[in-house]
Every structure is written in structure tokens, then in C-alpha cells.
Amino acid sequence: MRILLTNDDGVYAPGLKVLRDFLKERFEVIVVAPQGERTGISHAISLKDPVRLWEVEEGVWACDGTPVDCIHLALKVLLSEPPDLVISGPNNGPNMGEEIFYSGTVAAALESSILGIQAIAVSVAARRDHFYETAAQVVLKLIEKLSANPLPPRVILNVNVPNVPWEFIGGFKLTRPSRRVFNNYVVEALDPRGAKFYWIGGKEPVFVLEEGTDAHAVANGFVSITPLRADLTAYDELEKINYEVKL
């Protein structure tokens, strides 16, 4: 099996190295990732600027563009044949609830699915002292499952892993995205000259812990697996809106 790895934390991210080292003992692995951190860049693609690509070490390539750019360069420039699977991550921190719309990690997986490649986005639900080895074990389990039962076209798995050793994982749960509580989302401060500036993001996100959601699963020690697709159509509202608005 040939696996393409990418992320939005950058080609030198420690989690990416852990996952690559773990998988390359079992599979053919190539890495194409941004040269630096691209957190929060979402599904951006470089259309007005050139993108550069260079080899950092054998089988590991850096790109000065976005995670989505990395997917296109890997598929259209580097690889003569498409990979069997794209894995985006493991992300430094969770990608749950509405956070998925900002995530370059999730976007790279979605772009892969649009281009016809099976993909997994994986994140570790912590900002420090990561158990990336646990995420690697989770990925291996999912690879085994997908080898026997491939995903439907244009569907990805968004996976969030509790930050605990593998032996403390409670299991796997199929989930839906949770809802985020937007507290202190924009923080105002003053620079040394007294001029205002703003940090967008504020404190760590807080999620509503409803049963059946990604945040609830992770909070209870389970790996959250959420099927996602790029199609955002609210199908259940089509007929209702057509009737009420009389289009």
C-alpha cells in the first residue's frame, strides 16, 4: 500500500515524524507537507502565487504553499500513480465541531476525497505533551479496516484521538460534529505604542458535550470517528425552503 502523508503543522512537526516512522515499517510512505505551520488556513489554494517544492530528505517533500497545495503537487507532480490513501495529520490539537471548517488538516483530506483518493484526517486532542504514538496505532487500525471496507466516494474520516497512552483508549465511536461555545473569541490588546491590535481565537475552544458528538467521545476517552464530505448542502431543508420562499 502507498500512503501519502501531509498536515497543516509543517513538514518538521514531531507528530508527522512519529507517524511516518511508524507507517514506513509497514507501507510505502511519501510525505508532502507545508514548509511551516499553516494552522487555520482551511481549504485555501494558491491561485495567484507560484508554489515551490523541494526534497527535505528521501521521501519527504516541503511545499511553501497550503496543505491543499501539497495534495495537488503530490498527485500531479511527484507521484506517477495515485496513492491508495492520504493521511492528514496528526494535528497538534483537536479538530472537532465547527473547528473543522478552519482546519487545514481536514481540508487536505477533503481535497483528496474530491480528487478521488481515500483520506483520513487525524488529530490529537491536546496542545502539548502529545501521545502521537497512540494516534499512529489508531491510524494503523483504520488502515486495516479501510483495506477491507473502502470508504464511499468523496467521504473522509475525521478522527480525534484522546491524548493518552494506547492502553488507556476506551475504544472507537462513530460520531457527529459537536457545537462550539464561542467564548472570548477576539482578544483586544495594546502594542508598546498604545495602538490596539487583536488576536482572533482567544482561549482554547469549549464544546457542548452532547452524547454522540466528537467532543463527548474524546472527553470520555474514546477515539472519535466522524464521516465528512465536502458537500455542504442542507438536503433536509431543500423542500421546506422551496415551499416557504416559493422559489
Annotate 158-188 with b (16+ C-beta within 10 A) or e (fewer).
bbbbbbeeeeebeebbebebbebeeeeeeee
Residues 75-80: what's their mean pLDDT?
97
Instruction: Supply the pLDDT for residue 246.
Output: 62
Confidence of residue 240 (pLDDT cuts 50, 70, 90): confident
What is the spatial distance between Cα 139 and Cα 77, in angstroms, rounded to a whole number? 26
Count CB atoms within 10 A of the CB of residue 242: 10
Q: 197 lies in a domain?
A: no
Q: Which pTM value belongs to this model? A: 0.94
Classify residue 191: in a domain, yes or no: no
Q: What residue numbers bound the domain in which 238 lies? A: 2-179+207-245
Structural domains counted in the chain: 1
**Mean pLDDT, the chain, whole residue set:** 95
Q: What percent of the chain has pLDDT over 90?
A: 86
Rounded mean pLDDT of 85-99? 96
Q: Does 130 reside within a domain? A: yes
Residue 245 has pLDDT above 70, yes or no: no
Q: Is residue 184 part of a domain?
A: no
Give the integer Cα–Cα distance in Å for 88 and 194: 41
Q: What is the mean pLDDT of residues 122-129?
A: 94
Q: Is the pLDDT of residue 202 over 90?
A: no
User: Which H, E and C letters describe 85-118, residue by residue?
Assistant: EEEEEEEECCCCHHHHHCCHHHHHHHHHHHCCCC
User: pLDDT tens-digit profile of 25-71?
Assistant: 999 999 999 999 999 999 999 999 999 999 999 999 999 999 999 99
Percentages of the chain per state (helix, strand, coil), in multiples of 5: 30, 30, 40
Is the model's pLDDT at 204 over the cut of 80? no
In tens, the pLDDT along 13-32 reads 999 999 999 999 999 999 99
The reported pLDDT for the residue numbered 112 is: 99
DSSP state of 139: H
Looking at the domain assignment, is residue 196 inside a domain?
Answer: no
Model confidence pLDDT, tens digit, residues 131-183: 999 999 999 999 999 999 999 999 999 999 999 999 999 999 999 999 987 76
| The pLDDT of residue 247 is above 80 | no
Q: Does 36 map to a domain?
A: yes
CATH number at residue 165: 3.40.1210.10
